[in-house]
Amino acid sequence: MGAGNLPHQGPALYSVSWLDTAAAWLLALLWILPLVYAVWTAFHPAEFSTRFDLAAPWTLENFRHAWQAAPFARYFLNTTLLVGMILAAQLVLSTLAAYAFARYEFRGKNVAFALVLVQLMIMPDILLVENYQTMAKLGLVDSLLAIGLPYFASAFAIFLLRQTFLGIPKELDEAARVEGASALQTLWRVYVPLAKPVYTAFALVSVSFHWNNFLWPLIITNSVESRPLTVGLQVFSSVEQGVEWSTITAATLMTSAPLLLAFLLFQRQFVQSFMRAGIK
């Protein structure tokens, strides 16, 4: 058996059985099947969307067709702006709030924290009827701001950051104070840098959530100017005249490409930042 200083994944310990490998691979192939189908159908003409003839010709026509059929460029822009705006707001607001919870004592602190935790379970999506009316009163219906506003305060982020801030030793705090830093400056110089892995992990979760968010944006947007990709895709693929898979999969690939590529390139960092964030 193993002895002495073994590397992190000592190969002599618990070698992987062939059964495990087979099962893992089978599951992986099953899991990736939809994507494979999407790639097949998007790059082949419509007749081959249901027929898997390996000799079929390749074509980019579907992409061209999809790109022209709906203003995907605009949808991309909207989604990028939306996701960026939400993330920025979430980071700022939750940092401030988490700092308050972690480093201040005040009456009503527990009540306030309980209120925050409520949002972990009761997401704005559930309350869409009422939130829609709020937006109508504010005159914000059909704007990117309306899509993002209910999500700016993220209970998840506050929770994570509070956890992290609590773990930062108070000596660092006092050291900064001795140098004459105000509370906010301490926050910026000491706490924020130390919480970077948490920020990264949270950013990844937030981006992928809001990139994919559908129901609330569906309700609150009407026009192309504020429509994000998900709503645009649904409008695009809802067909009175029948489903056309080659065009839909082309559109799907186009709209998922950024996230997919980002993940493929940054897989490692992604997992590592989760590790260091200590989301356990």
Partner 1 sequence: MHRKTFIQTLAVAGAVATIGMSGQALAQAQVEVPFYYPVAVGGAIAKTIDGFAADFMKAHPGIKVTPIYAGTYQETIVKALTAHKSGKPPATSVLLSTDMFTLIDEDAIAPIDQFVKTADDQAWLKSFYPAFMANSQTGGKTWGVPFQRSTVVMYYNKDLFKQAGLDPNRAPQTWKELSEAAQKLTRKDASGKVTQYGIQIPSTGFGYWMLQTLTTPNGVLLANDTGTKVTLDNPKVIEALDYWVNLARSGVHPSGVVEWGTTPKDFIEQKAAIIVTTTGNLTNLKANAKFDFGVGQIAGNVRKGSPTGGGNFYIFKKSTPAQQQAAFEFIKWVTQPERAAQWSMDTGYVAVSPAAYDTPVLKKYGQDFPQALVARDQLPVSVAEFSTHDNQRVTKLLNDAVQAALNGSKTSAQALKDAQREADRLLRSYQ
Partner 2 sequence: MAAGSNIAPRAAVSQHALHAWLLLLPALALLVAFTHWPALATLIDSFFSTPRGSRPGHWVGLENYQAMVEDPVFWQAVRNNLWFAGATIPLSMGLALAMALWVNERMHGRAFLRMAYFTPTVLPMIAVANIWLFFYTPQYGLLEQITGAFGLPSHNWLGDPATALACITLVAIWKEAGFFMIFYLAALQTLNPSLKEAAAIEGASRWYYFRRVQWPLLMPTTLFVLVNAVVNAFRLVDHVFILTRGGPDNATSLLLYHLYEVGFKFWDAGYAAAITVVLVVVLASVALLQFFVLDKRVHYK
In whole angstroms, how close is the CB of 97 to partner 2 at the nearest point? 4
Q: Does 24 bind partner 2 (CB under 8 A)?
A: yes
Count the residues of the shown chain that bind partner 1, applying the rule CB under 8 A.
Answer: 29
| Cα torsion angle, 220, 225, 230, 236, sign | positive
In the complex with partner 1, the residue whose CB is nearer, 136 or 184, is: 136
Binding mask 45-84 for partner 2 (x = CB under 8 A): ----xx----------------------------------
How far apart are alpha carbons 18 and 204 in whole angstroms? Answer: 34
Rounded Cα–Cα distance for residues 15 and 166 (Å): 39
CA 248/CA 257 separation, integer angstroms: 14
> Phi and psi of 279, rounded to 5°?
-80, 90
Stretch that binds partner 1, among 43-51, 200-208, 258-266, 268-276 (CB under 8 A): 43-51
User: What residues between 252 and 271 interact with partner 2 by CB under 8 A?
Assistant: 252, 255-256, 259-260, 262-264, 267, 270-271
Binding to partner 1 (CB under 8 A) within 148-207 occurs at none
Regarding 61 and contact with partner 1 (CB under 8 A), the answer is no
Stretch that binds partner 1, among 116-124, 158-166, 195-203, 238-246 (CB under 8 A): 238-246
Query: Which residues inside 149-208 make contact with partner 2, applying CB under 8 A?
Result: 149-150, 152-153, 155, 158, 163, 166-167, 174, 177-178, 183, 208
**Any contact of residue 235 with partner 1 (CB under 8 A)?**
yes
Q: Give CA separation, 198 vs 111, 151, 178, in Å.
A: 25, 18, 27
Q: Which is nearer to partner 1, 136 or 175 (CB)?
A: 136
**Cα 113 from Cα 93, distance rounded (Å):** 14
List Cα–Cα distances, 46 to 40, 66, 142, 239, 250, in angstroms. Answer: 11, 13, 35, 16, 11
Residues in contact with partner 2, total (CB under 8 A)? 108
Alpha helices in the chain (DSSP H): 18-43, 61-69, 72-103, 109-121, 128-138, 144-148, 155-166, 170-178, 183-186, 192-194, 196-212, 215-220, 229-237, 245-277
Summarize as ranges the residues that interact with partner 1 (CB under 8 A).
Answer: 46-47, 50, 65, 68-70, 132, 135-136, 139, 141-142, 219, 222-224, 234-244, 247
